[in-house]
Every structure is written in C-alpha cells, then in structure tokens.
Chains A and B, each alone.
Chain A
Amino acid sequence: MKRANNYSNRKRGHLAWMTAAAVVFYVIFAQRPLRYEQGLVRLDSVPVPESDAAAPSDRESYRVRGRSFILRPDQQGVMETDRAGVSLWTREFSSPLTAGSVSAAASAWGLLNGSIQVLDQEGRLLDELKPSEHAVSSAYPCVYGVAISENGQSIAALYGLDPQYFLVFSKKNHGYELAFEKKLESQVVSDQPASFSTDGLSVIGRTADGLAFYDVQKRKGMIVRADYFAGEAELLIEPIGLDRFAILLAKGNERFAGLIRKGVIEAMFLIEETGSGLSVSGDIMMIAGKNAIQRYKAAER
C-alpha cells in the first residue's frame, strides 16, 4: 500500500516537472525576440525593373487578385476595368471609401459611415452590412479595415470608435451573421490591413492592440504579439499558400518580413529599411525595395 502511494507521488512529481518545463519552454519560445526565419528561405534579389521605377504613382488604380479597379477622385465610387482599361461596371457609395478587400467571387468596401457594401463580380450589391444592426455599438460608426474571404462566405472588419471592435461575420442563409466580436482597448483612426487566408479558414488584421486573429472553424479569436504589432506601426498582409500570411511590418525606420500561420509567427526577421512593397506569387514572397526585389520562398512545414 505504502509502495503504491510512493509510486503515485513520484508520478505526480514527474508530471509537475514536465508541466513546469513545458511552461518554461512556452515562455521562452513563444515570447522570444522575433529574429528567426526558419519559415522563409531567401531565394535571390532582383533589380527593380526600370519601367516600374520610372512609372508615376497611380493613386487612383487598385490592382488586386487579378482584378483592376479605378477609384473616383472623391473616393466615393469605384469602377472595375478589364486589362485594356475598359469599364466593366461602376458603383457609387454613400460615403467615402475607407477600406477595401477583393476576392475572385466578391468585393467588400468599407465606408466612412460605418457600413460595408458587398458587391458581386458585376458590381451588383449583394449585401449592405451595418455592424450597428448586429448589436455592435460604437459612438462613431466607421470602418477602418475590411477583409473578405475568397468565396465571400466570411467578412472581417475593424469597426467603430469609442469603442473599437474587431468583428468577423459569416454568411448564413441570405445575409451575414456576427460570428466574432472583440472589443479593443486601444483604437486607430486610420485604415488598417486585414486578410483572410486563401482557404478562408483564418483571418488576421492589424489593430491598435496587436494583430487580431480568428479561426473560422474553431470560432475562436485572439490578439497576438501585441509587442510587435501594437502602437505606431504599419503592416502589409498577403495570403500565401493555403493557410499562411506573408507580412511586411514597418516600425519607425525598421522593416520586418514575416510569415504567420494560424495566429503563430513562423518567421520574422529584419530586412533592409527601403523595403516598402509586398507581393506574393504562389509560395514566393517578394519585397520591393528602392533598388531591388528580395524573393523568399515559404518553406514546407
């Protein structure tokens, strides 16, 4: 009987040590400085094509997911054009655009008056999403960031002022229903990036509290790595592969490139400070600098 108790106590002791070790490992590895780049393999650096360098910045055109849009000079309307620049459709909005997200199936446009207009491929209004009608209450309704999933089934938004929320809506029957709501402690008053993964099962978006993440399948969300993404920072996000995100972060004069999957940072490292543009082709991530484009390949997991 006594021997059995000793065995049980020893077992408990081992369990306690293992738990403590796991916690220590978690603390060390989850909170360690972001210097690792295992998730991205540097391929090469190619010079910026002269045609790109010489081209004037076209402030009205918006090319995304193989589609081209021209914004109206008052930012209160949009026109989709084909490759030749011929108009396919135009849409006038009730107030100026503050955010936009485009997928193959649809597009979502966030407005200053707090509504999100969801349009189909021909520019027809599929839905006008007003978070205030989903019991989300802010003193000042305004959309600061928006993302739509590739199939148009989910929409995420950074919404409102006093307070501000990170929201995710899922399509149910004929409209969108609020699936996730995170009230934020800090607020922004400028446009912020947000994007769904290619498989549409996760979304990330920058908030003043940090990087907001939501898992569509688990219906759970959280704020990750507040230390890097909160405060004065700028971020670009592009989905890469099925479930990852390529990111380019600007904090002061420093630039970081990274890779995120399911809310976990797989790679994050310092790059040259002229890096200012982010694009993705297949599993290749490209960061455009002043004179060169750095190419990285997302490593197999």
Chain B
Amino acid sequence: MSASARHVNRALPMEIAPLKLIVLIVWVMTIGMASGIPVFAQDAPLSMESLDVAVNFGVPGQLPDGQKEEKYLQTGAFLSAENDAIRAAGDGRILFIQDNHLLSGGLPHATGNFTAVAHADGFISLYSGKTYVSEASAKSMIKKGEVVGRIAEITRALYSYYLFRVYDGASRLWVNPAFFIKDLVDRASPRIEEIALLGQDRTIIAENPRKGAQEVPQGNYSLAVSVTDPAYAKGSISGVFRLKAVFDGKVIADRKLDSARITPEGLAFLDLEAPSSRLTDEDGRLLLGKQFIPRGMHALEFSVYDYAGNSSSFNWKFSAK
C-alpha cells in the first residue's frame, strides 16, 4: 500500500466521525426508549449493593396519623445496611446533612436525618432513616463505597433499613433507584389487588371472571388499579415498574415507573399530571387515566410488570348498558 493510500485510509474515519457519532447517539437513544430504561441510568456513575431491597418508587405513601386520606407517590427504595454502615453510591461532594440538633427548633426532620451527596452529571443521592446518623462532614469529598452514615446502634433491631433516593438534577427527574442497585434478584410476580372503574357517582370493582360478565352503566370512568410487588423468601422487591391496559384490543395505557418529572406543581409520575397526589385515590389506587365506555360487551386486559421483569395479568369482561 502506498503512503498516500494509507493516508486516505487513516483520514477517512476522521471525516466520518461526526456522522458515526450522530448514528451512535440515535442508536443509543432508540435502545433506551425501546427498552424503557433511560439511557442516563445505564451510564450513571452510581451503584448500590444491598442484601435486602424493597423498591417503593411510585408506591402510594401517606401522611402521619390523622391525615391518612392524603396520599402521595414515593420515590425511594429501602435498603438493608451492612453492619449498620451506609455507603456512598458513587464519588461525590457532601451537599447537605440533616442531623441531630442540640437545640429544638426550626424545620422538623420528618424524614429523619439524611445526607445528600452530589455526584457527576448532576446526580444527587440521598440516604435517610429515622435513626440515621451522618458520618460525613462539611468539607468532605466522598469516594464510592465510603461510609456516609450509620443506623444508630441502639435501635438496630427495629430499623436496620434506610431509604435511598436518586435525583437527576440535569434532567430534573427523580429516578427509580432500582436502576442503580446491583444484582437485584426478584422472582415473585407483582400482584393485581384490585381493578376499578371510578365514575362520577359510582365505583365498579372488577370481579372474578368465573362469576360471569359484570354489568356496567355506560359513561366516563377513570381506570384505578391497586398493585403490589410482594416479597418472597430469598430475594428483593424490585418494585412495580410497568402498567399496561388494553381496552377492546386498543392500548389505553402503557406507562412506566422509571422516573418522576419535576414540575412547579410537584412530581409527575407515569408521564401524567403533577402533583403525585392526583394519581392516587383515598384507597391508594393508582389512577391511570379516563376512558369512555360505550354500550356493549367489552374486554379490559390489565398487565403489571416489576422491574425484574416478572408479570401478572387480569382479563375483565363486562357489558355496558
């Protein structure tokens, strides 16, 4: 090969590099969208390990006693602390410490104490618990795996878990922490506890198909579902991740609990409206949108998937009059 030919061969990749880059970006974004897993999560420099995990991202939570009718959707995962020690998910800068005070006053610590660590690319990880005690200090840069806090020893038996949350400041999203937990093993299928149609003045709850076709008055309804991801003996709870509803063969909802968007009104889960209290009713059911149900026989197929990929389905046939 002549010198000039070698030069051409070397120069060619440089010339097509921008094109390759664009193709690569498009390809990565396509894969990300198709898989339902945001690309940023795959590339994020955070990872956690825990023997016992219970992801509650998107699970309805409630205010303290006396205010139980007020629900909201949660953004974290409970992780077991290894020998009481809680370790940083990645390299970062200690951003905020909420710790025990000598004086009593000011804003109460509703979430217990917590530490927030700012990482590269705008990610912030939060570690909190009712008996959490921070071990970081104001000047601290922290390395992945270093101890950020501990579960107080006296109450270890009662509270060996802490809450882990991840906020993506660059994309203004709360991200499902399941993305960052390594070796998340969950073999139990999520459970559909209840499917209901909420009308203006009536609630129709789906009954066992063996009882025959249910009768439903025609009209506008909100589809409300109550789903859980149960624990099993040797594994974690990866959490409900995807909800899909097909009405008379047409997909009316296919939504993922991958992240919650930040809006001035609060958090928007499932690409629906904010605040999150609007997506759940008093009974803790998720509201997946409205649907007009005309007269006739109908079939509603509802499926739920957890983050690990286990699924459950329910087929509901009813007649509208």
Of the candidates B76, B101, B138, the one whose C-beta lies within 8 Å of that of A187 is B138
Instruction: Chain B residues near A90: list those with CB within 8 A.
Output: 70, 275, 277
On whether the beta carbons of B67 and A161 are closer than 8 Å, the reply is: no
**Which A residues from 90 to 122 make CB contacts under 8 A with B?**
90-100, 112-113
On whether the beta carbons of B114 and A276 are closer than 8 Å, the reply is: no
Instruction: Chain B residues near A133: list those with CB within 8 A.
Output: none
On whether the beta carbons of B94 and A76 are closer than 8 Å, the reply is: no
Cβ of B98 within 8 Å of any chain A Cβ, yes or no, is yes
On whether the beta carbons of B274 and A92 are closer than 8 Å, the reply is: yes
On whether the beta carbons of B98 and A98 are closer than 8 Å, the reply is: yes
Separation in Å of the B125 CB from the closest CB of chain A? 11
Cα–Cα distance between A136 and B64 once the two chains are bound (Å): 37
Instruction: Chain B residues near A250: list those with CB within 8 A.
Output: 102-103
Separation in Å of the B238 CB from the closest CB of chain A? 20
Cβ of B265 within 8 Å of any chain A Cβ, yes or no, is yes
Cα–Cα distance between A276 and B106 once the two chains are bound (Å): 12
The contact string, 1 if C-beta is below 8 Å from chain B, for chain A 80-95, is 0100010100111111
Cβ of A300 within 8 Å of any chain B Cβ, yes or no, is no
Cα–Cα distance between A163 and B276 once the two chains are bound (Å): 34
Instruction: Chain B residues near A76: list those with CB within 8 A.
Output: 72, 75, 267
Separation in Å of the B175 CB from the closest CB of chain A? 13
Of the candidates A60, A94, A189, A278, the one whose C-beta lies within 8 Å of that of B108 is A60
Separation in Å of the A290 CB from the closest CB of chain B? 12
Cα–Cα distance between A74 and B127 once the two chains are bound (Å): 11
On whether the beta carbons of A72 and B63 are closer than 8 Å, the reply is: yes
Of the candidates B76, B124, B274, the one whose C-beta lies within 8 Å of that of A74 is B76
| A188-B70 in contact given A70-B64, A94-B266, A248-B103 (Cβ < 8 Å) | no
On whether the beta carbons of B109 and A59 are closer than 8 Å, the reply is: yes
| A276-B102 in contact given A62-B108, A189-B96 (Cβ < 8 Å) | yes
Cβ of B48 within 8 Å of any chain A Cβ, yes or no, is no
Cβ of B4 within 8 Å of any chain A Cβ, yes or no, is no
The contact string, 1 if C-beta is below 8 Å from chain A, for chain B 169-188, is 10010000000000000000
On whether the beta carbons of B102 and A92 are closer than 8 Å, the reply is: no
Instruction: Chain A residues near B263: list those with CB within 8 A.
Output: 94
Cα–Cα distance between A161 and B95 once the two chains are bound (Å): 7
**Which A residues from 162 to 198 make CB contacts under 8 A with B?**
162, 187-191, 193
Cα–Cα distance between A142 and B264 once the two chains are bound (Å): 17
On whether the beta carbons of A92 and B138 are closer than 8 Å, the reply is: no
Q: How many chain A residues touch the partner (CB < 8 A)? A: 54
Cβ of A24 within 8 Å of any chain B Cβ, yes or no, is no
| A77-B266 in contact given A87-B67, A188-B138 (Cβ < 8 Å) | yes
Instruction: Chain B residues near A79: list those with CB within 8 A.
Output: 63, 67, 70
Of the candidates B101, B107, B118, the one whose C-beta lies within 8 Å of that of A100 is B107
Cα–Cα distance between A278 and B101 once the two chains are bound (Å): 14
Instruction: Chain A residues near B264: list those with CB within 8 A.
Output: 94, 125, 128
A143 nearest in chain B by CB position: B96
On whether the beta carbons of B95 and A96 are closer than 8 Å, the reply is: no
Cβ of B38 within 8 Å of any chain A Cβ, yes or no, is no
Instruction: Chain B residues near A95: list those with CB within 8 A.
Output: 167, 262
Cα–Cα distance between A100 and B98 once the two chains are bound (Å): 14
On whether the beta carbons of A92 and B267 are closer than 8 Å, the reply is: yes
On whether the beta carbons of B75 and A74 are closer than 8 Å, the reply is: yes
On whether the beta carbons of B138 and A113 are closer than 8 Å, the reply is: no
On whether the beta carbons of B61 and A73 are closer than 8 Å, the reply is: yes
Cβ of A26 within 8 Å of any chain B Cβ, yes or no, is no
Instruction: Chain B residues near A137: list those with CB within 8 A.
Output: none
On whether the beta carbons of B70 and A75 are closer than 8 Å, the reply is: no
Cβ of B208 within 8 Å of any chain A Cβ, yes or no, is no
The contact string, 1 if C-beta is below 8 Å from chain B, for chain A 253-284, is 00000000000000000000000111000000
A144 nearest in chain B by CB position: B96
Of the candidates A75, A128, A236, the one whose C-beta lies within 8 Å of that of B106 is A236
Separation in Å of the A275 CB from the closest CB of chain B? 8
On whether the beta carbons of B103 and A87 are closer than 8 Å, the reply is: no
Instruction: Chain A residues near B291: list those with CB within 8 A.
Output: none
Cα–Cα distance between A70 and B169 once the two chains are bound (Å): 26
B66 nearest in chain A by CB position: A85
Cβ of B52 within 8 Å of any chain A Cβ, yes or no, is no
Q: What 8 additional pairs, Cβ within 8 angstroms, besides A71-B110, A112-B96?
A: A59-B108, A74-B111, A93-B266, A94-B267, A112-B116, A188-B138, A248-B103, A250-B102
Point out residues on B near A: beta carbons under 8 Å: 61, 63-64, 66-67, 70, 72, 74-76, 93-99, 101-112, 114, 116, 118, 124, 126, 138, 163, 165, 167, 169, 172, 262-267, 274-277
Q: Name 29 A/B residue pairs within 8 A (Cβ), A-sorted.
A: A58-B108, A59-B108, A59-B109, A70-B64, A74-B74, A74-B75, A74-B110, A87-B67, A90-B275, A90-B277, A92-B72, A92-B276, A94-B172, A94-B262, A96-B116, A98-B96, A112-B124, A112-B167, A113-B262, A125-B264, A140-B95, A187-B138, A188-B138, A190-B98, A191-B98, A236-B103, A248-B105, A250-B103, A277-B104
For the complex of A and B, 6 pairs with smallest distance between CB atoms: A92-B266, A71-B110, A92-B275, A75-B111, A94-B262, A236-B105
